């Protein structure tokens, strides 16, 4: 069986190939050649036919023909009747990731964009804005009041700075989840918490139940551990309870991973009733639950947020909760946490020591000052993001009236349905108009949601104006060439 089996596989490897200068065929040839040099495409890998790749990339067949011809001239490709076009067997490749490119996974293009910088593209791969103004205030206070004392100590707190663990415990208690300091592990961002929990619970071949759609970076963590992903669809209250019950009963998963507040990418807020029922099911089937509440940004003042999922759990349930200040305060403040039973937290702490010994103490001290002000920070953020949401909503209704979306309960992005088309194909056109789009198919382990894109609104109004203008121009070009039907592809 060929290692590279579909046009989508190749498109994922090529990333934003259409940006840059020079004829389009040469940009395509350079992107394929770069994938070979990186070791992403290996000797003997079969490439799609010229016709199929042209359809997927939304370019003329002549563009792909010219790109393949140039690669054959470079001795990178060979074409034989009956076996198609393949990477030459004798081509030399670099050791994997030797040039610093991000390796593997469906989130590769997203994280590579962070490394490369946005350039002339408007990237909507990451929903992140600037720092909350309270961060600068807290930093000045820290330098003025606490810096000498902090610097006098060794700086190593493997489980977390005590003052921060206490502040996180108080924050969660105030949110309706009574928490003690020894139930908190401070992590270098919520992503590290996810990795540590996965290392503890997931073995190769184990099942992890996730919502569909989901965030590619989270899915890649589970895949890297060798997990088999089982998905549950969403309704207006959260994961469909019948699907959750069936999977817990039939698959005996190693972990149930959910995003109750707020779901990424849909922005859905799980109801209190649904939280209680899921917690009961998890306890009944003895399945550990990891709730990820790191996507805490926009939240309308008119809606009350239920207590964390762990607050609804029976005593016998094994519940862990992820949190972070990245979305609420600033992505550059790499402080997250895991809340769970004290004995589990200790086991996670031993794994964290192996990963990085301890999170930066100055960042933790800064976070400890910000936690008591978090509700105030979130309220200010909600006002700003609500205005940005209203702005992009009006722009899309005016410029792209055929697109469909549900106003999110919270979070920082719209989950947009493109009517009857494959978002992977549209993404190829969008990047040529200066927008880096993540297709919905990358967010669904089962290959569904292929006709969706995630559209963050965490930009200044002038950037949103330009973003929607570029998307509208890309859509006009896409429609002229005839949209391809959305497909269901198993990843």
268, 299 in Cβ contact below 8 A? no
Give residue 56's pLDDT. 85
Lowest mean pLDDT among 125-139, 163-177, 222-236, 353-367: 125-139
Query: So what's the architecture of 133-373 in CATH?
Result: 3-Layer(aba) Sandwich (3.40)
Mean pLDDT for 257-286 is: 97
Ramachandran region of residue 234, left (φ > 0), alpha (ψ -120 to 50) or beta?
beta
Query: What percent of the chain stands above pLDDT 90?
Result: 70
Mean of per-residue pLDDT scores for the chain: 89
Q: What is the β-pairing status of strands 46-47 and 452-456?
A: unpaired
The 10s digit of each residue's pLDDT in 438-452 is 899 999 988 899 999
* Domain locations in the chain as residue ranges: 7-87, 108-131+376-480, 133-373
The answer, yes or no, to whether residue 156 has pLDDT greater than 60, is yes
CA distance 448 to 446: 6
CA distance 11 to 425: 9
The 10s digit of each residue's pLDDT in 64-122 is 999 999 999 999 999 988 778 999 998 877 655 444 444 455 554 555 554 555 457 88
Give residue 106's pLDDT. 54
Give residue 196's pLDDT. 98
The answer, yes or no, to whether residue 431 has pLDDT greater than 70, is yes
Q: Which whole-number Å values give the CA distances from 313 to 273, 276, 294, in the listed order?
A: 12, 7, 20
471, 430 in Cβ contact below 8 A? yes
Show the CA angle centred on residue 305, arms to residues 303 and 311, nearest 5°.
Answer: 160
CA distance 478 to 175: 46
Check if 7-87 and 133-373 are the same fold. Answer: no
- 3.30.420.40, 2.70.210.12, 1.10.10.10, 1.10.3720.10: CATH of 7-87: 1.10.10.10
Give residue 2's pLDDT. 61
Alpha helices (H) in 236-373, listed in sequence order = 241-251, 272-285, 342-356, 361-370
Mean pLDDT for 337-349 is: 98
Mean pLDDT for 120-133 is: 82
The 10s digit of each residue's pLDDT in 452-470 is 999 999 999 999 999 999 9
CATH number of the 108-131+376-480 domain: 3.90.1150.10
Give residue 125's pLDDT. 80
CA distance 422 to 444: 14
Q: Which whole-number Å values give the CA distances from 79 to 33, 61, 63, 90, 133, in the listed order?
A: 16, 16, 17, 14, 58
The answer, yes or no, to whether residue 175 has pLDDT greater than 60, is yes
Mean pLDDT for 211-227 is: 96
């Amino acid at each position: 069986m060929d290692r590279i089996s579909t046009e989508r596989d190749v498109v994922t490897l090529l990333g934003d190939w259409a940006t840059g200068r020079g004829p389009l065929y040469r940009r395509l040839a350079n992107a394929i050649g770069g994938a070979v040099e990186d070791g992403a495409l290996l000797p003997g890998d079969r490439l799609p036919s010229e016709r199929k790749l042209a359809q997927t990339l939304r370019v003329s067949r002549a563009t792909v023909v010219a790109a393949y011809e140039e690669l054959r001239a470079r001795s990178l490709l060979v074409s034989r009747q009956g076996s198609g076009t393949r990477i030459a067997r004798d081509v030399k490749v670099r050791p994997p990731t030797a040039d610093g490119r991000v390796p593997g996974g469906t989130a590769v293009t997203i994280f590579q964009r962070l490394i490369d910088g946005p350039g002339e593209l408007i990237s909507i791969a990451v929903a992140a804005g600037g720092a909350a103004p309270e961060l600068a205030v807290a930093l000045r206070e820290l330098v003025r009041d606490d810096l000498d004392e902090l610097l006098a100590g060794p700086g190593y707190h493997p489980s977390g700075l005590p003052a921060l663990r206490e502040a996180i415990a108080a924050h969660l208690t105030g949110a309706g989840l009574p928490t003690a300091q020894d139930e908190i592990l401070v992590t270098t961002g919520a992503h590290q918490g996810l990795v540590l929990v996965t290392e503890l619970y997931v073995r190769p071949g184990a099942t992890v139940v996730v919502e569909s759609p989901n965030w590619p970076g989270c899915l890649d963590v589970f895949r890297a551990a060798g997990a088999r992903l089982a998905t549950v669809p969403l309704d207006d209250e959260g994961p469909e309870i019948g699907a959750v019950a069936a999977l817990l009963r039939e698959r005996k998963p190693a972990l149930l991973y959910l995003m109750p507040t707020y779901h990424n990418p849909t922005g859905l807020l799980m109801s209190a009733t649904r939280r209680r029922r899921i917690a009961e099911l998890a306890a009944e089937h003895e399945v550990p639950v990891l709730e990820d509440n790191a996507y805490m940004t926009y939240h309308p003042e008119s809606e009350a947020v239920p207590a964390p999922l762990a607050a609804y759990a029976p005593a016998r349930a094994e519940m862990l909760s992820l949190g972070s200040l990245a979305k609420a305060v600033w992505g550059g403040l790499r402080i997250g946490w895991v809340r769970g039973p004290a004995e589990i937290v200790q086991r996670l702490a031993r794994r964290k020591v192996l990963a990085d010994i301890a999170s930066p103490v100055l960042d933790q001290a800064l976070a400890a000052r910000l936690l008591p002000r978090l509700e105030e920070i979130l309220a200010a953020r909600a006002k700003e993001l609500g205005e940005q949401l209203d702005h992009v909503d009006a722009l899309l209704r005016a410029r792209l009236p055929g697109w469909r979306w549900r106003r999110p309960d919270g979070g920082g992005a719209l989950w947009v349905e493109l009517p009857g088309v494959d978002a992977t194909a549209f993404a190829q056109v969008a990047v040529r108009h200066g927008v880096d789009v993540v297709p919905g198919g990358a967010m669904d382990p089962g290959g569904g949601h292929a006709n969706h894109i995630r559209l963050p609104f965490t930009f200044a109004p002038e950037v949103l104006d330009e973003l929607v203008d570029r998307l509208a121009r890309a859509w006009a070009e896409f429609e002229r060439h005839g949209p391809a039907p959305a497909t269901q592809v198993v990843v």
